[in-house]
């Protein structure tokens, strides 16, 4: 457990505060830097901090946003998803450096002048906006449709899945609402991605891999498949599975699959291989970037599975 901040500092113990407010209250800049480096202070937003011992919650997020967002502006896009509880809607790596807040004004000609936020104007209907602990934000449904249009496809499908996981709307509702965006920029991408949304997906990279498989014409994968042995004993829950071919695709992210987790992951996958599953393990560079190779690697394991459909023992393939 992280110990609380020093009691001799004029900093709130359970409320977010801005860097400028802390310095103005007399906290030396080097002390703030030391607290951040030591993990006693957590960066909640750009320029907004909170005692690292304070548990994260929608209320705490809203309190942080209220420090930088005026009452008449609406939080949108990844920030709105984050506020709604879809933490993994943020872009990859943003757990290390939270991106600027995205806000829009519903009044023509007004822009927020604030170094902590990105702002602009957007046409929003009344039903597109809700209030979360005093902060106006686009609803998860509207946020989903915006990100499905405005982000690169491999990021957009992850955002769609993560917002579906809030359980505040479903794919059918999103597809129906998408009709009002006819003629708007990049709506064609949204028409492709929204029907593919799946609330079972647990991370954006899994969603990106599912999109690659769909676009490449591979067999439809099952997200988060629970795998059992012949006697009904639970073995594992796989990121993506093609049960008919006994193929599993696993994504190892740096945050949740580091060195300490590796022995457990290896043992689990060897157990799956012994039960006849062909397990492909992919990492970030296989999915994102100029030299991504996930499609070729997945086709290779599918081809192997089709050549040996009655194999007794599978294997683990690391990309």
pLDDT tens across 90-113, in order? 665 554 456 678 888 876 544 555
The reported pLDDT for the residue numbered 286 is 93
Structure-token pair, residue 37: 């480096």
Write down how long the chain is: 319
Residue (of 113, 104, 90) closest to 43 by Cα position = 90
Tens-binned pLDDT, residue by residue, of the chain (319 aa): 556 666 667 888 789 999 999 999 899 899 999 998 998 899 888 889 999 989 989 999 999 999 999 878 999 999 999 999 887 876 655 544 566 788 888 765 445 555 555 656 678 899 999 999 999 999 999 999 999 999 999 999 999 999 999 999 999 999 999 999 998 888 999 999 999 999 999 999 999 999 999 999 999 999 999 999 989 999 999 999 999 999 999 999 865 555 677 888 899 999 999 999 999 999 999 998 778 899 999 999 999 999 886 655 678 888 7
Cα distance between residue 146 and residue 281, in whole Å: 32
Domain ranges of the chain: 1-53, 60-196, 204-318
Cβ atoms 274, 313 nearer than 8 A: yes
Residue (of 71, 91, 67) closest to 81 by Cα position = 91
Pick the CATH number of 204-318 from 3.40.960.10, 3.30.470.20, 3.40.630.30, 3.40.50.720: 3.40.960.10
The residues, ordered by sequence, that sit 6+ positions from 34 with a Cβ below 8 Å of its Cβ are none
pLDDT tens across 270-290, in order? 999 999 999 999 999 999 877
CA distances from 103 to 22, 52, 157, 210, 282 (A): 24, 26, 22, 30, 35
């Amino acid at each position: 457990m992280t110990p609380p901040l020093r009691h001799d500092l004029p900093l709130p113990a359970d409320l977010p505060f801005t860097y400028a407010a802390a310095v103005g209250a007399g906290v030396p800049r080097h002390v703030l830097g030391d607290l951040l480096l030591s993990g006693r202070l957590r960066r909640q937003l750009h320029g907004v901090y909170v005692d690292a011992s304070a548990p994260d919650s929608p209320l705490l997020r809203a309190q942080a946003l209220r420090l930088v967002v005026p009452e008449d502006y609406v939080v949108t896009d990844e920030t709105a998803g984050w506020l709604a509880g879809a933490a993994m809607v943020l872009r990859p790596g943003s757990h290390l450096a939270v991106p600027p807040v995205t806000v829009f004004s519903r009044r023509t000609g007004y822009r927020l002048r604030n170094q902590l936020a990105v702002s602009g104007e957007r046409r929003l209907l009344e039903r597109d906006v809700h209030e979360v602990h005093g902060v106006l934000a686009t609803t998860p449904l509207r946020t989903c449709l915006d990100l499905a249009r405005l982000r690169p496809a491999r990021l957009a499908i992850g955002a769609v899945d993560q917002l579906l996981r809030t359980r505040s709307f479903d794919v059918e509702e999103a597809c129906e609402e998408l009709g009002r965006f006819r003629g708007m920029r990049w709506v064609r991408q949204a028409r492709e991605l929204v029907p593919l949304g799946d609330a079972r997906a647990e991370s954006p990279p899994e969603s990106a891999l599912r999109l690659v498989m769909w676009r490449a014409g591979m067999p439809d994968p099952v997200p988060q498949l629970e795998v059992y042995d012949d006697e009904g004993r639970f073995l594992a829950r796989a990121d993506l599975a093609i049960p008919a071919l006994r193929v599993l695709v696993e994504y190892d992210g740096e945050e949740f699959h580091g060195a300490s987790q590796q022995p457990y992951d290896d043992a689990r996958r060897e157990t799956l291989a012994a039960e006849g599953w062909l397990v492909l393990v992919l990492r970030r560079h296989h999915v994102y970037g100029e030299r991504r190779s996930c499609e070729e690697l997945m086709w290779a394991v599918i081809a192997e599975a089709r050549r040996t459909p009655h194999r007794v023992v599978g294997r683990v393939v690391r990309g």
